[in-house]
């Protein structure tokens, strides 16, 4: 079974957790898109959906899901979102699609968060997937030097690299830049998360710790449920 089919199964299973009248946080990425499609197909009444990116907002709009904002609906009942890695205790790396800041704001405003992923995303130790770090553009090279110092304190030798695409530096929906830190193994995610947050110029990082209440993992045999 392909990774995409596993993502679809996870997205469809998560859509069944949504009830009419809920305020729902919509994640970003290819897995979250399956959830958005499955949710729209259910045709539930009274939903209000808070998207975590412009891309998700556009998809939800096309599918006729009623959109809201964190300003208008600051308390969210349930958020469903993908992840780049799902580690022990449902510690996550997110931000491969550069949406980590809005995602974290929506996750933290949610009573319940479900992460959905294909089986290959489940890892024994976080860090094979490069950790995204969102940085303000002003002085970003100076900020990158400070990030390198923190990484080196964590025995991570490779400095983080600014994310680029065909048209130059990748900008987030908020206009910031992304640095990707190739960590290989993050032995103390809590301390790394704290240390990165202390750097002026770092807006957010992709470590989502203690936020996911449940994981729905698509596998070749259906879905597997994980709890922290």
Residues carrying an active site annotation: 103
- Of 141 and 165, the one with the shorter C-beta distance to ligand R5P is 165
Q: Chain centroid to CA 202: how far?
A: 17
Alpha-helical regions (H) of the chain = 3-15, 30-42, 54-62, 100-108, 140-153, 189-197
Q: CB under 8 Å to 6, separation ≥6 — which residues?
A: 118, 119, 217, 218, 219, 220
Kindly state whether residue 87 participates in binding ligand R5P, applying the rule CB under 6 A. Answer: no
* Residue 128 marked as a ligand binder: no
95 in contact with ligand R5P (CB under 6 A): yes
- Does 29 contact ligand R5P by CB under 6 A? yes
**Is 100 among the residues that bind ligand R5P (CB under 6 A)?**
yes
Q: Are the beta carbons of 223 and 10 closer than 8 angstroms?
A: yes
CB closer to ligand R5P, 53 vs 143: 53
Q: Binding site annotation covers 96?
A: yes
Do 179 and 135 contact (CB within 8 A), yes or no? Answer: yes
Q: Is 35 exposed, middle or buried (0-12, 13-18, 19+ CB in 10 A)?
A: buried
Q: Which of residues 45-84 bind ligand R5P (CB under 6 A)?
A: 81-84
Q: Is 37 annotated as a binding residue?
A: no
Interaction of residue 30 with ligand R5P, rule CB under 6 A: yes
Task: State yes or no: 180 annotated in a binding site.
Answer: no
Minimum CB distance to ligand R5P, residue 213 (Å): 16
**Contact footprint for ligand R5P (CB under 6 A):** 27-32, 81-84, 94-100, 103
């Amino acid at each position: 079974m392909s990774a995409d089919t596993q993502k679809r199964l996870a997205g469809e299973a998560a859509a069944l957790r949504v009830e009419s009248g809920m305020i729902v946080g919509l994640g970003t990425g290819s897995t979250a898109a399956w959830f958005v499609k499955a949710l729209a197909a259910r045709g539930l009444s009274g939903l209000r959906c808070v998207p975590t990116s412009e891309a998700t907002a556009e998809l939800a709009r096309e599918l006729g899901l009623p959109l809201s904002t964190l300003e208008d609906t600051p308390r969210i009942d349930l958020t469903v979102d993908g992840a780049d890695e799902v580690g022990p205790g449902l510690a996550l790396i997110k931000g491969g699609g550069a949406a980590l800041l809005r995602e974290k704001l929506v996750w933290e405003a949610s009573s319940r968060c479900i992460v959905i992923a294909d089986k290959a995303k489940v890892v024994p130790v976080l860090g094979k997937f490069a950790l995204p770090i969102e940085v303000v553009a002003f002085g970003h090279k100076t900020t990158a030097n400070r990030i390198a110092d923190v990484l080196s304190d964590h025995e991570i030798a490779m400095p983080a690299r600014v994310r680029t695409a065909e048209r130059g530096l990748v900008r987030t929906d908020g206009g910031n830049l992304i640095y990707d830190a190739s960590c290989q193994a993050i032995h103390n995610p809590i301390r790394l998360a704290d240390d990165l947050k202390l750097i002026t110029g770092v807006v957010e990082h992709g470590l989502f710790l203690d936020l996911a209440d449940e994981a729905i993992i698509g596998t070749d045999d259906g879905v597997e449920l994980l709890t922290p």
